């Protein structure tokens, strides 16, 4: 895409006048950086201000020059490019800072032996105080939470992806503009606004009515998470199904293919990459939820692999309690270390999940011409 425009531009430059020389951006960068440094030297130097000022000066400089030499259309294009790249840099700064902080704080805990393989069973402030006072390694791990997160999220996905995907199929392929479809569409939007704690309370109340008060299991948590997950799945897959070109559907119908076969074999595979990314996003949205899990799955320090009975821990509840209620209030260090390491593990998990979604998309997606 990008290469196409530049090659076109280069060919044209031989023929037409009024083009900025190819060294223009570099020259403007150099001028902007020097000028910004000079201004910062006057008001007091700091690196961030210098960077921001340079960027602003660069944009002004390049756009003005382009406006003078190339006319307003090209100048607008340059301005848009600068803004887009600038917004990318603005977005990347805080995000990188978050990741950096998690990495720096999480790595020491992650490499502690036993962190991934053991639970928090039997760990109390005594162990933490000892490890702080004697400098021995921090005991206790996240195995129970890791398993809890995997199982709860797996069940939530198993519940919400079929429901969500089928609903979006209904909306796009069957419902069109019928009143029911409009209602579903609208209420799915409303569902995205359910505060997560309310979803948790709802699931807890539902299961309290079904199987007695205080039913806290991994499955209840999975239901609570599904309430949060379904609208995201519907919303994103609906958008993805919508942009499947109608030509494809019409071609399939013209070949005498049934509608459901067309949807399963043509429409969904075409959109699978987007759907997979939407599902990943939905999982990502709920995998970090704390409040609904606390009220539905309780808080365990032991390994529990049964989603249908007993309390379960998950990584976010683990992180939350370790940060807010350290195991040893007097020496919160080990708890904080475990919390950051657990956050790092959570991010790595989602990274693998993302990778998985991409592989799925690659396996299932039809070959495109692009």
Partner 1 sequence: MSSNSLTSAGASGRTGDKVFSGFALGAGALILLVLFSVATFLVVQAAPTFVANPSEVAGGEGFWKYILPLVLGTVIAAAIALLIATPVSVGVALFISHFAPRRLAQGFGYIIDLLAAIPSVVYGAWGVAFLAPAMAPGYQWLADNAGWFPLFAGPASATGKTILTAGIVLAVMVIPIVTSLSREIFLQTPKLHEEAALALGATRWEMIRMAVFPFGRPGVVSAIMLGLGRALGETMAVALVLSSGPLIASLIRSGNQTIAAEIALNFPEATGLSLSTLIAAGLVLFVITLAVNMLARWIVGRHKEFSGAN
Partner 2 sequence: MKALSFGRSAAVAVIAAGALALSACGSDNATGTSPSAGGSAASSNLTGTLTGTGSSAQGAAIDAWKSGFTAANPKVNVQYSPDGSGAGRKAFLSGATQFAGSDAAMKPEEISQSKTLCGPDGAIDLPVYISPIAVTFKLSGVKELNLAPDTIAKMFRGQITTWNDPAIAADNPGVTLPATKITPVHRSDDSGTTQNFTDYLAKAAPSVWKDKGAQTWPSSLPGENAKGTSGVVKTVTATEGALAYADDSAVGGDLGVAKVKVGSSWVKLSADAAAKAVELSKPAAGRAANDLALDLNRTPTDPSAYPIVLVSYHVVCTTYKDQATADLVKGWEKYVLSDEGQKAAAGSAKSAPLSSSLAQKALAAVEAIKVKS
Q: Return residues touching partner 2 (CB under 8 A).
A: 114, 117-127, 129, 139-141, 143-144, 146-147, 150, 208, 212-216, 294-295, 298-303, 305, 310-311, 321, 323-330, 332, 359-360, 363-364
**Of the candidates 119, 289, 299, 327, which one interacts with partner 1 according to CB under 8 A?**
289
Closest C-alpha among 176, 195, 277, 288 to residue 233:
277
- By CB under 8 A, the residues from 33 to 72 that bind partner 1 are none
As measured in angstroms, the least distance from the Cβ of 219 to partner 2 is: 16
Nearer to partner 1, 4 or 14 (CB): 4
Give yes or no for residue 169 binding partner 1 (CB under 8 A): yes
Computed on alpha carbons and rounded to an integer, the radius of gyration of the chain in Å comes to 27
Start-to-end Cα distance in the chain: 11
Tell me if 232 sits within 8 A of 194, measured CB to CB.
no
Tell me if 144 sits within 8 A of 303, measured CB to CB.
yes
- By CB under 8 A, the residues from 327 to 356 that bind partner 1 are 343, 346-347, 350-351, 353-354
As measured in angstroms, the least distance from the Cβ of 199 to partner 1 is: 7
170 binds, among partner 1, partner 2, none (CB under 5 to 8 A by kind): partner 1
**Of the candidates 30, 41, 91, 104, which one interacts with partner 1 according to CB under 8 A?**
91
CA 148 to chain centre: 20
Tell me if 200 sits within 8 A of 292, measured CB to CB.
yes
**Of the candidates 230, 272, 312, 341, which one interacts with partner 1 according to CB under 8 A?**
230
Provide φ and ψ at 136, rounded to 5°. -75, 170
Give yes or no for residue 20 binding partner 1 (CB under 8 A): no
**Of the candidates 112, 131, 145, 280, which one interacts with partner 1 according to CB under 8 A?**
280
328: three-class secondary structure by DSSP? coil
Which tokens sit at 6? 């530049």
Give yes or no for residue 101 binding partner 1 (CB under 8 A): yes
Give the Cα separation of 336 and 126 in Å (integer).
Answer: 16
């Amino acid at each position: 895409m990008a290469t196409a425009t530049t090659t076109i531009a280069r060919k044209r430059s031989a023929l037409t006048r009024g083009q900025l020389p190819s060294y223009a951006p570099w020259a403007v960068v150099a001028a902007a950086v020097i000028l910004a440094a000079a201004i910062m030297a006057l008001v007091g130097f700091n690196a961030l201000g210098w960077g921001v000022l340079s960027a602003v000066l660069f944009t002004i400089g390049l756009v003005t020059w382009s406006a003078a030499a190339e006319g307003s259309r090209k100048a607008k294009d340059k301005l848009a490019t600068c803004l887009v790249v600038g917004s990318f840099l603005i977005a990347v700064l805080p995000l990188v800072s978050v990741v950096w902080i998690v990495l720096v704080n999480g790595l020491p805990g992650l490499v502690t032996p036993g962190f991934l393989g053991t639970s928090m069973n039997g760990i109390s402030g005594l162990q933490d105080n000892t490890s702080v006072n004697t400098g021995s390694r921090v005991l206790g791990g996240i195995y129970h939470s890791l398993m809890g997160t995997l199982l709860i999220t797996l069940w939530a996905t198993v519940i919400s992806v079929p429901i969500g995907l089928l609903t979006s199929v209904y909306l796009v392929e069957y419902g069109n503009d019928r009143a029911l479809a409009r209602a579903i569409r609208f209420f799915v939007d409303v569902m995205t606004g359910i505060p997560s704690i309310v979803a948790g309370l709802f699931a807890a109340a539902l299961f309290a009515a079904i199987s007695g008060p205080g039913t806290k299991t991994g499955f209840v948590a999975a239901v609570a998470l599904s309430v949060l997950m379904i609208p995201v799945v519907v919303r994103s897959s609906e958008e993805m199904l919508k942009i499947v070109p109608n030509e494809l559907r019409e071609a399939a119908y013209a070949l005498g293919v049934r509608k459901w076969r067309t949807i399963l074999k043509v429409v969904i595979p075409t959109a699978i990459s987007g759907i997979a990314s939407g599902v990943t996003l939905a999982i990502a949205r709920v995998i970090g939820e704390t409040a609904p899990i606390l009220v539905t799955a309780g808080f365990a320090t032991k390994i529990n692999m049964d989603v249908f009975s007993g309390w379960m821990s998950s990584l976010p509840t683990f992180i939350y309690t370790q940060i807010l209620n350290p195991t040893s209030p007097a020496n919160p260090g080990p708890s904080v270390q475990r919390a950051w390491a657990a956050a790092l593990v959570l991010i790595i998990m989602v990274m693998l999940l993302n990778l998985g979604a991409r592989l799925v998309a690659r396996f299932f997606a039809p070959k495109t011409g692009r």
